[in-house]
Every structure is written in structure tokens, then in C-alpha cells.
Structure 1
Amino acid sequence: MIRGASLRGFARLVEELGGDPAEFTARFTISPEALTSEEGLVPITSHDLMLDAVARDLRCPDFGLRLACSQDLSILGRLALAIQSSSTVAQAMECASRFMFVHSPALSIGVEPDPRGRREVVTLTYRKDLRESPYSSQAMELGLALFHRVAVTLIGSLTGLRSIELPHQPVSPLSRYTEYFGADVRFGCPTAALRVERRLLDEEFRSANAAIRRLAVDYLEGHHTDPERLISTHVRRALTGSIGAAPAPIGHIARLLTMHPRTLQRRLAAESTSFEEIADDVRRDLALRYITTTHLPLGQIAAMSGFADQSALSHAVRRWQGTTATQLRRRARGAH
């Protein structure tokens, strides 16, 4: 999932491009309220597929970059306050890395060594967990462009910016990227990142306030649990890697997690869920992802998603989406 705040400015921009925001939200089964209620949650795969579809259908290859111009740090809610009140870039990055799951568990940022081996350079990375959702060029450009925009706002300038790294090939003219970032932009890189001079980590924020930061961090710690600490997160990942490739009964998953099946059930119950609920969610997510992002035959998708046959998949899709798998695939691609 991802907070609806990530779609701030979406409706206005789509309308400016001659499109209908409601048509796109309906196509990807996103609640219209997501465009007005920033605290709501949106499935990140639907969110990203919608951005790609808008860019394609409205012939706006730089849609992600344009949308970033409508947003700022405040889309992160309480996390924004903790970041703004940090004393240095390094402290802000540590805070953002620790609590990015509040915005979306599928996204992460961090500080890593320079992949080119320069000691005076570090990379501020921006990643999406592809176990949770497929890669999206528009969503990646939105995220990295916003990352850059926030850094410039907090620091005042990015004079130490060496280059921008993107995993995909350019979807807009190269001049559009250099115009936006004001720096060298490289494509086909292992990780999306801003390569900056190491000294920037010591830059101090004018907005630093230790008391406010402590209150903000205390709130985040008290109201949000890091998914990495939940056994349900690890069960979900184990099932995602097992469904379709091998039987995935609870005993099999419990062995992978080195615990007894009854212990696993008790720990899941303490998190208000069950093995069966997680397995159903994983089957649904995998099936919908394969249907909307691949050309694979439905029979093959059924097997890869853990369904007995294509008929079982079809019944499940109609229950989830109120339509057939074929119609869902056509709708996601804007076909009629």
C-alpha cells in the first residue's frame, strides 16, 4: 500500500492534460476518495499502473516529473515533521530510512557507498521492493524527483550533486531530465539514487528543532509498527516465493521460518491475522499483478498464483473485482 498523499496534484494535472481522473481511478479500482483524502491507503501496484497508464494514454512521458512539482515533503505527514526538525542531512536520512514504511512499506531510502568507488561521494538511494509490486518508470521518476525536490528545499541548494541514477532507460527526451534535475542523469543503473558529495551529509537545517523532532519520533514509534518486526510480513514473503513453485502449507512456511506451526499460528493471531488470510491475500495480489502487467495465459497465471485451475481463478477475480479476468486485463490497458 501507499498513502493517498502520493496522488496529491494528480486530478488537476490529469485534467490539464485533457483526461478524466475518475476514469483512471475506476480503471484501476482506486477509490475516488484517494484523490482528496491523503491519509487513506491505495494499493501501490494500482497506484503505479495508473501513473504509467496516464503517461501513455495522455501522451505525457514526463508525467511523474510533472506530478512531483505539485508535491513537497508534507505528503509524508508526521514523518515530514521529524525530517524537517532534524539537525543535519545525515540525521534526516536516518529518520526517513527508519520510518519510510509509514508512507509505504514497499519503498525505502538510504545512504550507501558510491558504486563508482569515490570516497568523497555517497548515494542517497530510493528503492521499491519488487517482491511487493512491479517496477514502474513513472512512479520511480515521481519518487526520485520528489526526493530531489525535498533535498533542495531543506538544504537550500544541491551544489554537491554529482549525478542522478535511474534503473530504466529514458522515457522522455534527455533534455527534460537535465532541465528538471540540473545535473547529469544516467540510465540503466542498478539503483535509483542521487549521487552527492559526502560533505552534504553534514549540512545543517535551518528548521532544526530537537524538541519537535523528539515529539514527532515518539509519535511515529507509538502509532506505527515497522513491518519488518511482524511475523506476518515474513510469512507473506515466504508465501510469495513459494506459491506456484511448490505446495505452501503452513508446515512448509513454518519450517522456512524455523518455528513450530502452532507457534506460527499463535504469533499471527497476536497480529490479528491468520495463515489462511495471508495466503488468500498473496494469491489475490499475485493473480491481479500477473493479469494486469503480463500477457501470460490465464491458465498459467492460475498455476503461478496457487489456484487449482483457470476456473477457480476466474471465480476469484469476479469475486474480487466484479468482472472477468479478460475484462480486467483490457481495462488496465485502456482497451475496449
Structure 2
Amino acid sequence: MTYLTRASSLHGFHEFARSQHLNPAELLREAGLARDVLDNPDALISFHRFALVLELASKASDNLLFGLEFGLYQGVGIFGSLLYLMRNAKSVGDALRDLGHYFHVHDNYGDVAVHRADDHALLYYATEAQNLPGGRQVSELVVGVGHQLMRTLLGSRWQPAVAMFQHAPAVNPARYRRLLGVAPRFNSAFDAWMFDVNLLNVSLTDADPALHRLMQQHLDNASRLHSHQLPNHIQRLLRSFLPSGRVTIDYIADFMRLSPRSLQRHLAEQGTSFQTLLDDTRQTMTLRYLEESDMTLMQLTEVLGYANQSAFSRAFQRWFGVSPRQWLKQQKARP
């Protein structure tokens, strides 16, 4: 399974990391993420690398509660268009139902759900994945974000009963209580918030039904596209790694925390292959560079990750039916 999340999961990371006296660009680089990853919040990134950033930051800052504090800091900023959908639902319960239904558009690592039990309700995040680097940091970030989401929806009416964590406390439980304002419960079945079930019936007075329908249509479209995004994601990685020559399936699969066989299988399900995507990406980049730059053929060979100019020329002949030099002459001859 390829676990991906939106880059918006790192919303506010640069500012918060600096507040902890850390170098955010260095941490992103160490986790294998581009320093400008947040320039496109909707871009897909490896969930494992997202979690690794939190783990590295926790160790570098010597702050065992980095994930929890970061989650409280970033709050609802991670949700993107999902937030507009929730804010325009009829009630808190409807908003959380929307979140659970469309959460896979944000990330496919875990599920958000609401469970009613007598006079209490649980808002929890659950996943079956194992061996996640920084798993505890992710769990605590999720609880922090959940706290801020409920406060956004309910304001001062948000008075939870207990914060629940699947793991044992990393520090004295009193620190959790000071941060969350409520007693924590550890070694639980879920990472969750427990609260009065009647809060689910609270109406969202500023809701706009028309905007809710519009956002629902947008997310329905995004949901349908989600399963087809892997080939595009691979091509974005190829465009980034081609100039360095790191374009083997082994390298790309390792970057995504997959085996090469699993990556090929996922691509085959989408009707393509790694070699096809690599070839298409190189062909597109070739035309762009030839039309928009003054690169020499030798420079272009290096940028496209070919071992030598002969290999590039053979590929070019296969794509366009002529050699690169003949193609350039034809372009110059055109009025």
C-alpha cells in the first residue's frame, strides 16, 4: 500500500520548527522532502516521510511532545478544502461525518470516525499500518489537531471529557493535561477525544448550504481522481530527480517506501509502467528544454539523466523519427 498525505499536513512547520530553535529546511532535507514542499499544499507526499520529519524534529529539539504541540499550533490549517466543507455543514455531527467520508482525499494512511456510546461520543483516528517512524508523534499531532478542530466548530462549548492515546505517556501526564486542559488516558484502543454526545447536535449557525454543496462536488471529483494520481505523482518525482541521474525504479520505490515490485503492481493497475512514465517524462522535458532554453545537447543529456549522448540520441530518434540535430535544423528552417 502506498501511504500518501497532502503537503498541508506540514502546515506551519517552518514557523513552529523555528520556534523550537530548529532548522526546518535541514529537517525536511534529512527526511527526504524538498525544502519548498509547502509551496503546493495540495501536493502528495510520502506519509512515512511526513512522520519522519516529526520524529527528527522531536529528537533535534529534545522535545518528546513535539507532535502534540505542533498539532495544537497548526490546528485546522492542515485540512484545506475539507475545512470549508465542515464549516458549512448543518451541525457538528454532520461536519465530522463529512470529515470521515472525505478524509481519504487528504491522506490514505488512517481513517477518521465518530462513535456514539450512551451519553458520550468518540472522535478518533485509526490505522492498521505498522512500523511507522515517528508513530507516537503522529498520534499526538492528530489529537492536537482534533482538539483545535472541535474548538473551531464549537467555540467555548467544546468541553471534552478525556483525551485518549494508544501509547504510554512520553512524559509526566501532568504536561499533557496542561497542554490539553483535560485529563489524558493512555494505552487506549484509539487516539481519540471523548465528549458529550449532545455536542454532535449543535447547529453551525454560519453554515452556507450552497457553499457546502459546491465543496462537496469539488471533493467528490477529487475523490474520483485520487486513485489515478499515482502516475502523476511518479512523474513529478522523476522531473525532480532526473538531473541527478537518480531515476531507477529502485530509487523511486525506496523514496516512496515501497518495494519495486509493489510500485510496478500499483502502476499496472493504472494501465502504465515505470518505464513508460520515465520515457514520457523525458520526452516532454526534451521538447520543453529545446523550445524554451539554450541548452546544448550535452547539457540536455545530463539533465535528462542519460548515461551518454548516444543513449539520448537513440531515444530522441525513437520519439520523433529524426536525430536531435536534424530536429533543430528543421525548427530553424521554419518561418
Q: TM-score, normalised by structure 2?
A: 0.65
1:59 is the counterpart of 2:58: no
Paired amino acid for 1:68: G
How do residues 264-275 of structure 1 correspond to structure 2 at under 5 angstroms?
Answer: 271-273=270-272
Deviations 1:135-191 (A, max 9, x none): 611111111111111101111135552111100111233222112221111011111
Q: Paired residue for 1:169?
A: 168
CA distance in 2, matches of 1:94, 1:186: 25
Amino acid at match of 1:190: A
C-alpha change, 1:207 and 1:274, in structure 2 (3 Å) is farther
Distance 1:100 1:132, change over 3 A: farther
Equivalences for 1:1-336 in 2 at 5 Å?
1-114=4-117, 119-130=118-129, 133=132, 136-225=135-224, 271-273=270-272
Whole-angstrom CA distance in 1 between matches of 2:225 and 2:143? 23
Higher Cα Rg: structure 1 or 2? 2
Q: Residue 54 of structure 2 contacts residue 134 of structure 2 at CA under 8 Å; is this kept in 1?
A: no
- Structure 2: unaligned runs, 5 residues or longer: 232-257, 277-335
Gap change, CA 1:80 and 1:273, over 3 Å in 2: farther
Q: Say whether the 8 Å CA contact 1:94–1:110 is kept in structure 2.
A: yes
Q: Partner amino acid for 1:173?
A: N
Does the CA contact (< 8 Å) of 2:167 and 2:186 recur in 1? yes
Evaluate the alpha carbon distance shift between residue 120 and residue 3 of structure 1 in structure 2; reply closer, same or farther with a 3 A threshold: same
Measure, in 2, the Cα distance between the counterparts of 1:193 and 1:69. Answer: 15
Instruction: Report % sequence identity.
Output: 23
User: Is the 8 Å Cα contact of residues 166 and 190 (structure 2) preserved in structure 1?
Assistant: yes
**Aligned mates of 1:73, 1:107 — CA distance in 2:** 17
Given that residues 64 and 142 in structure 1 are in contact (C-alpha distance below 8 angstroms), is that contact kept between their aligned partners in structure 2? yes
Asked if 2 retains the 8 angstrom alpha-carbon contact of 1:112 and 1:124, the reply is yes
Q: Residues 101-135 of structure 1, C-alpha deviation per residue, up to 9 Å, x if partnerless?
A: 11101121111144xxxx11121111234159556
Q: 1:200-255 deviations in whole A, cap 9, x for unaligned?
A: 1101112211111011001111232286899x9xxxxxxxxxx99xxx99xxxxxx
CA change 1:28–1:159 in 2 (3 A) is closer
**CA offset at residue 31 of structure 1?**
1.3
- Counterpart amino acid of residue 19 in structure 2: E
Q: How far is the alpha carbon of 1:3 from its aligned partner?
A: 1.1
Q: Is the 8 A contact 2:72 2:147 kept in 1?
A: no
In structure 2, do the counterparts of structure 1 residues 26 and 228 end up closer, same or farther at CA, with 3 Å as the change threshold? closer
Q: Please tell me the root mean square deviation across aligned C-alpha atoms, in Å.
A: 3.1
Aligned residues: 244
Distance 1:158 1:273, change over 3 A: farther
The secondary structure found in structure 2 opposite 1:205 is coil
State the distance in 2 between where 1:120 and 1:226 align.
Answer: 39
- Matches of 1:145 and 1:71, distance apart in 2: 9
Q: Which structure's residues are more often helix, by fraction?
A: 2
Q: TM-score w.r.t. structure 1 length?
A: 0.65
Out of 35-44 and 54-63, give the one that drifted further: 35-44
Supply the distance in 1 between the matched residues of 2:227 and 2:154 (Cα, whole angstroms): 31
How far apart, CA to CA, are the structure 1 residues paired with 2:127 and 2:275?
Answer: 26
The alpha carbon displacement at 1:48 in A equals 0.6
Name the CA distance, whole Å, in 2 between partners of 1:146 and 1:186.
17
Conserved in 2, the CA contact under 8 Å of 1:155 and 1:204?
no
